[in-house]
Structure 1
Amino acid sequence: MTQLDSSTGQFANIGYWQAGNVWTAMAIQDELTTTQTNKADVVQNLNLVFGLFSNYDQFGGKFQFNDDALWWATAAMYASKAYNNTQLLDNAVSTWNSVSQFQITQAQAEAGSTPLKDFAIEGTCDGVTMAGGVFWRPTSDDTSVNSITTGLFLTLSAYLAEKTGDPKYTNASILSANWIRAHNLNTDDIVLDTVSASDCSRSPATWIFTYNTGKFIEGLSVLENVTGDSQWNALMLSIIAAAVENTSWQGANGIVTEGADNTQNNDDIGFKAVYIRGLREAFRRAPENSLLRTLIHSYVDVQYNALLDLAANGSFYSAAWAGPVPTSFTSWGQLAALDVLTAAVEVN
């Protein structure tokens, strides 16, 4: 915790969204091990940041990036589960209420407009409704609807539905799951990145990032538990099968290669941690599916063994899980390692 700035709840040399994911991993570790080792730090800092930035909005006034807010809201949700903390649950709900304004409703899709944007939106793209997509940025002129913001909203909604039983969360989660399935899965069942709501243009097909797929896997695993609807489990299984064989983010040895820069932090380094976390949640929610659990166990252990054998220098971890070992401590290398170490506890 030497990198923690106790006045901001953030860490040196990693970004705001990545800092939220540190608190997520620490809360999950406590939940898995039924301990409260990290409780004081996690609760204090998640509440600190919520107090500093209303609804986890680091820019003030209104969200500049809805995904940033949702990373922290989801961290609060994990911690509320781990510690049965109602204040953190309230933080998550408050942020959900704010971001939910940016989920395209069916009525807005049919009308071709939303009150928070100053441009006409396409109600359908490729003949399928745009309802359920969540705008990446709330600024009135930004047209991007992307998978990570929609996937985060889907996942937080599913967790809130599970906790509260309120159908508004279930319905929001289903709407977002349908949007990703309809608009942002490629033919290999890998999640794509962005669609413009103004003209249906797309991000390049080469924009393939682990966290889009990982967050969708996590959300689907929770949504299936909440609804009992087997279609979400079937979709999740197809995506997991594709993900663990996807060569764009891993080598022939199965070690994830995305975000492997030891010289400076970048977002990709945090992406792969989210991917492993999603697989861990799928593992935990499928106790009856021995084949799935064996697959995820094996896949996580490949990353874990690589981290220990190829990417560790004492207690310092490389951002490059296939090596080389780091020559010094980096906050981003430690960040990426946290979810692998946590998942290894669960699957083993």
Structure 2
Amino acid sequence: MYTSSMATALLYALPLIGSATGFPAPNAVPERKWALTIDRPERFSHTHYKGRVIPKAVELPAWASTPLTTLEKDITTTANDAIANLFTYRDADFDFKNISWWQVGNAYAAVASYDLFMGPAHQQQVTEGLHRLIERGDSGQSDPVGLENQFNDDSLWWALACVDAYQVYGDAACATEAKRLWQWVKDTSLVVQTGIAPNMGGIQRTAVISDQCALEYGTYWTTKPEEFYLNSITTGLMAQASARINEAVGASNELVDVAQGTIKFLRNHTVDAGQLLVNWDGVEGDKCSVSPGAYTYNTGVYLAALVSLFHASGDTTFLHEAEEVAYASMETAYWTDGAGLITDGKGLVDNSDGAGFRSILLRALVRLYKATSNEDVKTEMRGFVNLNFNMMYTQARSGDDYDINWFGPFTKRTVWGQFVAVDLLAAAAIMNTQ
């Protein structure tokens, strides 16, 4: 059920730098090209990327001033009608048909995240769905327990959906499930000791985790005993879930420690220090080899985790770093056309894991938009969202249905096209009304 694009088959075996960090030297990192003529957006003057940044005035890209296109209905009604349409895809168990388990969790998370900032209009649909699925579990598992499954990133996506449901609706069952899922992943899959094949939470791992490259706080992709891959998405989700639970459900030193430790792992191993994008998909833990792959959702989760750490700690260095990550994510030519349009998903017809990656970045930009008072970055985020929304609305829409390919034309009504569109609709509604 999990057709991952994690690219585990294509690995780079990079030499260690010294004996401690094990992340690649700058000249070993594949160059990514910026959309602008400069090497990186001149948004900040800084001595190092880890939060020590000083904003400075700069001319924004021309597309940053893009307004919304003319709509048949106001933007809030447009978003609400698309959400109502999304719920028509649910079955009798409140599961969304024809998408994978992690995508179902993100469909609920997209709606709960929208309600968090626009008001709890969809409380009944979200909470009744989450309650039923917590009770039933993942139908693809032989002995399901709550919302978890063997893929830790799946479990953590659901944890985030539950945190949002608790924060906006006050749903205690969702808070309990979010904490349980987090604890499950921490106990079974968060690396705390290297140089051994650990027994964690009753799962005896068969691969020895290298002690040559500081892999503490990396998070196993799955709970399979033979797993050795510590990937960016699972580790980033662990960072975000830790900070979000600390912020919204209940604060603890343990949650903050895990959030900061997992962010440190990403910075040391998979975040490109020069461009601030997550340009490496993960680390092969038994060899310290990194797997290439720059995906919108890896950077989106990293960005959202930084915003959540700002909320959890009050430390503005996390917020400033998040702002620079946002600029990088909108201006890179790696997953945009160089002029503000996301090319992730261009040409798609059928569902795949990658279909929903761009929506995670957009959801993260909304979190930053609500957290920051930096008008430059807010203006650019609004223009970026409007530009992409306008493309989808004018080229890939039929009534309240949206195609998975935002460049159009509209080809067919699908649940995967609809749930991915909700995050863009939500971003447009929030950024143009608040």
| TM-score of the aligned structures, taking structure 2 as reference length | 0.74
Distance between the aligned counterparts of 1:240 and 1:211, measured in 2? 13
**Letter aligned with residue 143 of structure 2:** G
Q: Tell me which protein shows more helix as a share of its residues.
A: 1
* Corresponding residue of 1:141: 226
* Corresponding residue of 1:189: 276
Which residue, 233, 248, 266 being the options, matches 2:319?
A: 233
Higher Rg of the two aligned structures: 2
Q: Does 1:217 align with 2:300?
A: no
What do the CA deviations read for 1:120-173 (whole angstroms, capped 9, x no partner)?
111242xxx211111101111111111111111111110111131211111111
Which residue, 288, 298, 320 being the options, matches 2:383?
A: 298
Q: Does 1:280 align with 2:371?
A: no
* Corresponding residue of 2:405: 320
* Corresponding residue of 1:341: 425
| Aligned partner of residue 283 in structure 2, secondary structure | strand
2:323/2:368 contact within 8 Å kept: no
2:349/2:405 contact within 8 Å kept: no
- Structure 2: gaps of 5 or more residues: 1-86
Q: Does 1:202 align with 2:285?
A: no
- Structure 1: gaps of 5 or more residues: none
Q: Does 1:68 align with 2:151?
A: no
Distance between the aligned counterparts of 2:182 and 2:109, measured in 1? 17
The residue correspondences of 1:93-132 to structure 2 (distance < 5 A) are: 93-101=179-187, 102-105=189-192, 108-109=193-194, 111-116=195-200, 117-125=205-213, 129-132=214-217
Q: Which has the higher contact order (CA 8 A, sep 6+)?
A: 2
Distance between the aligned counterparts of 1:112 and 1:290, measured in 2? 49
**Letter aligned with residue 188 of structure 1:** Q
How many residues in Structure 1 have an aligned counterpart in Structure 2? 335
What do the CA deviations read for 1:241-265 (whole angstroms, capped 9, x no partner)?
2111111211133111112344310
| Aligned partner of residue 193 in structure 1, secondary structure | strand
What is the CA RMSD across the aligned residues, in angstroms?
A: 1.8
| Aligned partner of residue 226 in structure 2, secondary structure | coil
| Aligned partner of residue 296 in structure 1, secondary structure | helix
- Percent identity over the alignment? 28
Bigger mean CA deviation after superposition, 229-238 or 175-184: 229-238
Q: Does 1:19 align with 2:104?
A: yes
| TM-score of the aligned structures, taking structure 1 as reference length | 0.91
Which residue, 23, 26, 30 being the options, matches 2:115?
A: 30
| Aligned partner of residue 351 in structure 2, secondary structure | coil
Which residue, 158, 165, 168 being the options, matches 1:82?
A: 168
Distance between the aligned counterparts of 2:312 and 2:191, measured in 1? 22
1:57/1:324 Cα in 2 relative to 1: closer, same or farther (>3 Å)?
closer
